[in-house]
């Protein structure tokens, strides 16, 4: 469902992503690992449309989308979280989540005037869903607070709540549990596995190899912008080149 073909991204002479190709089938859950600066986040930006590739193409369900804006790609079912969370700081936490609901009637200017009943009904339904998400992510107590008051870990949780609210059919998760406490971390990873079991395709960046091994039957390793290896986590962990890449780069 998601495919990269010869994708590159250059910043001046720096090749952040260099001729990367892979293919992820519908319903898969795949880990993307690699040392700091390997190009994982840049690759996410290219896939989701936050940046344009210098070369190569990106396909969602067989359609080339590398020139489409991010919101068009979400409409095709591809959602993402940001490694560094981007909450709408002055908006309340609950409205950060509500905003993400897809295809809202109340987002149409004319309908806010002429179909108030439908807008109100839908807003109530979305509110229930948003509350349930905040509940799950232990953010309920902060629902009415402006998002700027959240801690670093809470911002990561909000990031996750928003993308889940958007109900994409494929999600790119960039270190979704970095900075989150252990207990909740376990719950989130279980939730991600469950979402995947319900058919949502997932590509996840995560530095904890144990987590990846438990979650993903297949792992892609990036280093210095290129794909170094691809395969089952056990084989990857035993691979000499992969270990060297990690030791040579910054510690994971």
Ligand X SMILES: Nc1ncnc2c1ncn2[C@@H]1O[C@H](COP(=O)(O)OP(=O)(O)OP(=O)(O)O)[C@@H](O)[C@H]1O
Tokens coding 88: 């709408």
Spatial contact of 24 and 1, defined as CB atoms under 8 Å apart: yes
| 63-69-72 Cα angle (round to 5) | 60
107 alpha carbon, distance to own chain's centre: 24
Q: Which of 100, 137, 171, 227 is the binder for another protein (CB under 8 A)?
A: 100
CB of 41 or CB of 126, closer to ligand X: 41
CB of 69 or CB of 190, closer to ligand X: 69
190 binds ligand X (CB under 6 A): no
27 binds ligand X (CB under 6 A): no
Q: Which of 15, 86, 218, 229 is the binder for another protein (CB under 8 A)?
A: 86
Name which of Mg ion, another protein, ligand X, none residue 230 binds, using a CB cut-off of 5 to 8 Å depending on partner kind: none
Q: Classify burial at 96, counting beta carbons within 10 Å of its beta carbon; exposed 0-12, middle 13-18, buried 19 or more.
A: buried
CA distance 237 to 35: 13
Name which of ligand X, another protein, Mg ion, none residue 34 binds, using a CB cut-off of 5 to 8 Å depending on partner kind: ligand X
Torsion of CA 131, 134, 139, 143, to 10 degrees: -40
How many residues of this chain interact with another protein, rule: CB under 8 A? 47
95 binds another protein (CB under 8 A): yes
Coil vs helix vs strand at 7: strand
Binding mask 180-219 for another protein (x = CB under 8 A): ----------------------------------------
40 binds ligand X (CB under 6 A): yes
Pick from 55, 78, 71, 68: nearest CA to 1: 78
Binding region for ligand X (CB under 6 A) out of 10-18, 103-111, 124-132, 184-192: 10-18
Spatial contact of 244 and 238, defined as CB atoms under 8 Å apart: no
Query: Taking CB under 6 A as the criterion, which residues in 104-163 touch ligand X?
Result: none
Pair type for strands 2-11 and 55-60: antiparallel
CB of 98 or CB of 215, closer to another protein: 98
42 binds Mg ion (CB under 5 A): no
Which positions lie near ligand X, rule CB under 6 A? 11, 14, 16, 34, 36-42, 83
């Amino acid at each position: 469902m998601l495919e990269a073909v010869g994708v590159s991204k250059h910043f001046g002479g720096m090749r952040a992503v260099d001729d990367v190709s892979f293919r992820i089938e519908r319903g898969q859950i795949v880990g993307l690992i690699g040392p700091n600066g390997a190009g994982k986040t840049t690759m996410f930006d290219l896939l989701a449309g936050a940046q344009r590739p210098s070369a190569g193409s990106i396909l969602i369900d067989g359609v080339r989308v590398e020139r489409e804006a991010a919101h068009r790609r979400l409409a095709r079912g591809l959602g993402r979280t940001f490694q560094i969370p981007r909450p709408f700081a002055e908006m309340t936490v609950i409205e950060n989540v509500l905003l993400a609901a897809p295809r809202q009637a109340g987002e149409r200017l004319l309908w806010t005037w002429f179909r108030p009943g439908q807008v109100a009904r839908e807003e109530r339904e979305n509110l229930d869903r948003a509350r349930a998400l905040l509940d799950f992510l232990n953010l309920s107590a902060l629902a009415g607070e402006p998002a700027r008051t959240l801690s670093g870990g809470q911002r990561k949780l909000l990031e996750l709540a928003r993308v889940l609210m958007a109900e994409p059919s494929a999600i790119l998760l960039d270190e979704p549990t970095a900075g989150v406490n252990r207990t909740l971390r376990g719950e989130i990873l279980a939730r991600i596995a469950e979402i995947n079991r319900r058919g949502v395709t997932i590509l996840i960046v995560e530095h904890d190899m144990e987590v990846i091994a438990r979650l993903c039957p297949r792992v892609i390793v990036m280093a210095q912008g290129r794909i170094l290896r691809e395969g089952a986590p056990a084989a990857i962990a035993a691979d000499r080149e992969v270990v060297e890449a990690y030791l040579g780069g910054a510690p994971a």
